[in-house]
Structure 1
Amino acid sequence: MRKFVIMGIQGSGKGTQAAMLAERFDLVHISVGDIFRWHIQFHTKLGAAVKRIVDAGELVGDDLVESVVQERLQLHDWNYGFIVDGFPRNAVQAEFFLESYDIDGVINLEMPDSEVERRVLSRRLCSGCGLDYNLIASRPEVEDTCDVCGGTLVRRPDDNPEALANRLRDYHEKTTPVIELFERKEFVAHIDATQDRESVLAAIVDEFHLPTD
């Protein structure tokens, strides 16, 4: 059984790498962002509250994130392990997490703020089917139009320079103590996330001596 935490600033490819690792090693990918997006899509009470916070360019509170992750982990459907994406968010949560789960290590995807801004502000979302695009790496065949359903591509409400600056500042302030705590108690692999996705994955596999076949 393998259990990992993956951390990284917005736009660093955290979700992509978590999904690739989950598929390769049969792990359950527990993404805080995906859980919240599901609630927003299906108009739950939690989804409405999260949408208000996100649309204001703010981060969802730590207590709410913690409760969502605890509830998800309690399902115990991760027979071969899990990779948690988007948690823990502060040192207190990290301490609790380490007391509760014996993890294999932490993946920390590193990327300069300037590259984060370039990537995040190039993201687009189909207003019809919800498919993600990035105008740097995955442009649609027809400008501003989804290749799959023909819907209009829009920028997420929180993908604007002001909101991104707030999130970057908040991330650095909260994440540095978490990484420092992890480094005292667990193996933390610092990975250059400016590489292409396959190179990033290969670096993670190498750092943790995971099987390659």
Structure 2
Amino acid sequence: MRKYVIMGVQGSGKGTQAKLLASDLDLVHISVGDIYRWHVQYHTKIGAQVRRAMTAGELVDDALTESVVHDRLALHDWSYGFVLDGFPRNRRQAEFFMERYDVDAVIHLDLPDSEVRRRVLARRLCAGCGLDYNLIEHRPAKEGRCDACGGELVSREDDTEEALAVRLADYHRLTDPVLELFRAKEQVVTVDARPAKAAIQRTIRDHLNLPQRRRAT
């Protein structure tokens, strides 16, 4: 069984790399962000709390996040392991997690703030089916419309200059100390998140002594 945590500032490609890592190793990709977006889309009570935080450019309450992660991992659908994406984000969450689970490694995707801004502000989301786009690398065939369903492509509510500035400040203030905590107790692998996604994945697997992907990325 392999258990990994993947960390990095917003826009560093955590979700992409987690999916690539999980795809042929029979690991389950658990994305806290995806769980929250589902709740927002279906207007649940949790979704209302998340929406308020997102609009203000703030992090979701620790207790709520810990509860969501605990409930998701309690499903035990990860017989061969998991890649946890988007958690922990501060020291309290890290201590909560480390008291309950051992991990084989923490993967840290390192990306300069200037590149974060360029990537995040180019992101779009289909209002119809929820498909993700990035206008730098993944432009739709028809401007402003989803290739899959034809829905309108919109910016996420929290993808603004103001909200991003708050998130970057919060990330460095809260998450950098988490990496130090993990470095003291777990294996931390730091990878440059600027190259192409396939190159990043190869580097991650090299560091973790994992077989390279069987399929092209």
Matched with 2:3 is 3
> How many angstroms does 1:165 deviate by?
0.3
Cα distance in 1 between the residues matched to 2:92 and 2:143 = 45
RMSD of Structure 2 on Structure 1 (CA)? 1.1
Percent of counterpart pairs with the same letter? 64
Indicate the residue corresponding to 2:99 in structure 1: 99
In 2, Cα distance between equivalents of 1:128 and 1:86: 24
CA distance in 1, matches of 2:13, 2:105: 18
Output one character per residue of 1:144-170: Cα deviation in whole Å (capped at 9) or x when no partner: 121222222111111110000000000
Q: Which runs of 4+ in 1 moved over 3 A?
A: none
> Secondary structure at the residue paired with 2:190?
strand
Residue 124 of structure 2 contacts residue 155 of structure 2 at CA under 8 Å; is this kept in 1? yes
Contact 1:62–1:89 (CA under 8 A) maintained in structure 2? no
Distance 2:147 2:96 in 1: 44
Quote the residue 1:87 is aligned against: 87
Residue of structure 2 in register with 1:63 after alignment: 63
CA shift for structure 1 position 108: 0.2
Matched residues in 1 for 2:92 and 2:124: separation? 34
**1-side partners of 2:159 and 2:185: how far apart?**
35
Give, as a single letter, the amino acid of the residue that structure 2 aligns with 1:89: R
**2:194 corresponds to 1:194:** yes
Letter aligned with residue 95 of structure 2: E
Which residue is 1:147 aligned to?
Answer: 147
Partner of 1:117: 117
The two structures have a TM-score, normalised by structure 1, of 0.96
Indicate the residue corresponding to 1:35 in structure 2. 35
TM-score by length of 2: 0.94
**Aligned 8 A contact 1:6 1:85 in 2:** yes
Which runs of 5 or more residues in structure 2 are unaligned? none
Deviation for aligned residue 1:56: 2.3
Letter in 2 for 1:85: D
**Distance in 2, Cα, partners of 1:98 & 1:170:** 21
Report deviation, 1:96: 3.0
- Which aligned pairs between 1:18-57 and structure 2 lie closer than 5 A? 18-57=18-57
Aligned-partner Cα distance in 1 for 2:146–2:196: 24
- Is the 1:111–1:193 contact (alpha carbons within 8 Å) kept by the matching residues of 2? yes
Q: Which moved more, 1:124-133 or 1:104-113?
A: 124-133
Write out per-residue CA displacement over residues 44-102 of structure 1, whole angstroms, 9 at most, x where no aligned residue.
11112211221222221222111110111111111000111111122232223223222
